[in-house]
Amino acid sequence: PRRLTFYVTGQINQPLSQLYRINLGLKQLGVGREIAEQQLRLQRQTVVNNVRRSYYAILQTQSSLRASEEAIRLYQELDRVTGEYVVQQVALKADGLEVRTRLEKAKYDAPSLRDQLATQKEQLNQLLGRDAQTELRVSPVPALSADETDPAAAREQALRRRPEIKEAELKVKYAEYDRKIKKSELIPEIGLAFNYVSPLNTNFLPKNVAGLGVSVSWEPFDWGRKKREASEKARSIEQAALALREAENSVQAEVNVKYRKLQQARQM
């Protein structure tokens, strides 16, 4: 009779050979998460570096301002003494003019340094994420010790701890997993399949239909597509390895430059 017919159908598929590819994908996702953590670590170090540079720039400007104020008092006294010497015809008028020129130069530098100091404090407040007009006072840093750092040990430590190196190493590992995943596509997809069908208000034989079997899916002829894609993944590994080598060379060169500048600063 013409009436509504209801039935229940269910299907369960359990992949077998695909578990290898799925496991590779999960490991690759873990490596991607580690890459993101290294990028976050690099960003944090960049923020710390910017704050330190801004803080030390404020200290340097404050020192220059104090030196300028001392120079003003020095040239004022020197101008007074030189004026007396000019009256006594012990010094030349040119000497007095030179002293006044230096005095005016020092008076001009002091307001410029105050403006520069105010700007640097606003920039530091901005880096700290607070209002730019917040009052800010800095404390002097202790003097550098005379202990020299071994440049070879410094390079080794940088290669071991710098996030750029860690990120480049992880990218090589990520590219290797990518190639393994691509090569796993050559494996036939084999899995267990269970199907079940049961009509509710329709009478026919058999009443319940269940099937259990093995499902196989394979693409034997791809005209070299998978091989070419695997070759591209291999070249990606080579590119990641070259990027790692370039990052190591860049970090070593940076450490050497900083070490030489540190020696020059200590010598000065």
pLDDT in tens, 26-39: 999 999 999 999 99
Buried b (16+ CB within 10 A) or exposed e, 94-117: eebeebeebbeebeebbeebeeeb
pLDDT in tens, 71-88: 888 888 888 888 877 777
pLDDT score at 210: 93
pLDDT in tens, 173-201: 999 999 999 888 888 999 999 999 988 87
pLDDT in tens, 11-57: 999 999 889 999 999 999 999 999 999 999 999 999 999 999 999 99
